[in-house]
Amino acid sequence: MTGLFESPDVVDTERGVGADFLACVSCGAAHRLSELDRTPSYDLDGSAHGRDDRQSFRSAHAAHRVRFLRRAGDLEVRSHSRGDPMAQVVWQATDGDRSYLVTCERSDAASPRRYTVRRGRLVRHREAVDLDRDVVIGLLDDALYPYSAPAGKLALLVEAWWRRTEEISMDRFDPIGEDRRDPAVQLACVPPCLVEAYHQEVRRLFEGVEALRVIDLVDGELRQDIPIVRLERRYSIVTDDR
């Protein structure tokens, strides 16, 4: 849908081109637009019934103020992980003029999702990059086996890697998952721009076979397979009910 917008803040308020939601700002109800809005329903005998969910919503709110809204980038707040059917999600959206919050939730796992809208915005109040240090230490131990290194030496390497990592903009990371216990934390592997910096810290602290083993770990599992980087973004919900 993004490509249909002439600019990030433009929504075709008449046709809904490029919009993600149809929202009634009078009563707070919203409908998530989909290609399935006009998909027919079928009876058990195969009989088809035409439907138009978008038009049904507009008819139900014909006497109200209805707006087409588009999501404002990737801004969102989740109560639980993406795989949890009961997760509540709040997105920031716009009609090209005002900012709105669209909430998606359901009463139980068997119920359809319900969408509501209100005036407001999401404000980022924390952004941080960290390493999953316990996982990194375990991977280093495995990589060095049957050799071993003092715990203090491993801790120095992890600390050096963390300092290098926090210097990089969060936009340079490519998340491949999220923390199941904290939906505000995404997980990423070591990006290409950090590989040489990690190598330098390894060579500073290790020599010979040990250094080669740790460098192999960086180039393999840490670069491609195991997300040791934790990207934390937290937002505050600011409402404006005027």
Model pLDDT, residue 15: 53
Model pLDDT, residue 222: 97
More confident residue, 8 or 127: 127
H helices within 15-100, ranges in order? 53-60
Model pLDDT, residue 242: 56
Phi, psi of 145 (to 5 degrees): -55, 140
What tens digit of pLDDT does each residue of 35-73 get? 877 777 777 777 777 778 888 999 999 999 999 999 998
How far is Cα of residue 42 from the mean position of the Cα atoms in its chain? 35
How far is Cα of residue 87 from the mean position of the Cα atoms in its chain? 13
Please state the rounded mean pLDDT for residues 106-123. 93
What tens digit of pLDDT does each residue of 216-239 get? 999 999 999 999 999 999 999 999
Residue 140: how many other CB atoms lie within 10 Å: 23
**Gyration radius from the chain CA atoms:** 24
Res. 84 pLDDT band, cuts 50 70 90: confident
Per DSSP, what are the bridge partners of residue 236?
123
Model pLDDT, residue 5: 31
Question: What tokens appear for 161 in the block?
Answer: 């890697």
Residue 33 reports pLDDT greater than 80: yes
Q: What's the CA gap between 209 and 199, in Å, rounded?
A: 14
Res. 77 pLDDT band, cuts 50 70 90: very high
